Amino acid sequence: MKMSIATRLGGAAAAALLATVSLGVQAYDGTNCRAPGNCWEPKPGFPAKIAGSKWDPKHDPAELGKQSESITGMESRNAKRAENFKKTGKWVYDVSKL
């Protein structure tokens, strides 16, 4: 039984691909994983505690509070819009027109 050149090349390519994939899987043994899929490690020199280090973002509490204020305002406007929609059946975006 004769095999064509295309069949031989295809078989050789498949064998090479299989060998490459199996070597890639065997190269990492997972010794640095805390759990399956949780393999993050800090770079050397990265501190265990970030607060007070050069990586500390030092967020201003007043700046962080602005977002919660804007979300509270958004929720109250949406409640007014929804209440008006239930009464009239029309959605009005501009709350000042309600």
Q: Is residue 35, in this structure, part of any structural domain at all?
A: no
* The pLDDT of residue 85 is above 50: yes
* The pLDDT of residue 6 is above 70: no
pLDDT digits (tens, 9 = 90+) for 29-80: 545 777 777 777 777 787 878 888 888 888 888 888 899 999 999 999 999 9
Q: Is residue 15, in this structure, part of any structural domain at all?
A: no
Q: Is residue 72, in this structure, part of any structural domain at all?
A: yes
CATH number at residue 64: 4.10.160.10
Q: Is residue 70, in this structure, part of any structural domain at all?
A: yes
pLDDT digits (tens, 9 = 90+) for 9-36: 566 666 666 666 554 455 555 457 777 7
Cα torsion angle, 20, 26, 28, 34, sign: positive
pTM as predicted: 0.42
Q: Is residue 39, in this structure, part of any structural domain at all?
A: no
What is the pLDDT, as a whole number, of residue 61? Answer: 85
Q: Is residue 12, in this structure, part of any structural domain at all?
A: no
Q: How many domains does the chain have?
A: 1
Domain region containing 79: 60-98
Q: Is residue 66, in this structure, part of any structural domain at all?
A: yes
Q: Residue 15 corresponds to which amino acid?
A: A
What is the pLDDT, as a whole number, of residue 81? Answer: 96
What is the pLDDT, as a whole number, of residue 2? Answer: 64
Q: Is residue 95, in this structure, part of any structural domain at all?
A: yes
Cross-strand partners of 23: none
Closest by CA to 90, choosing from 81, 77, 80, is 81
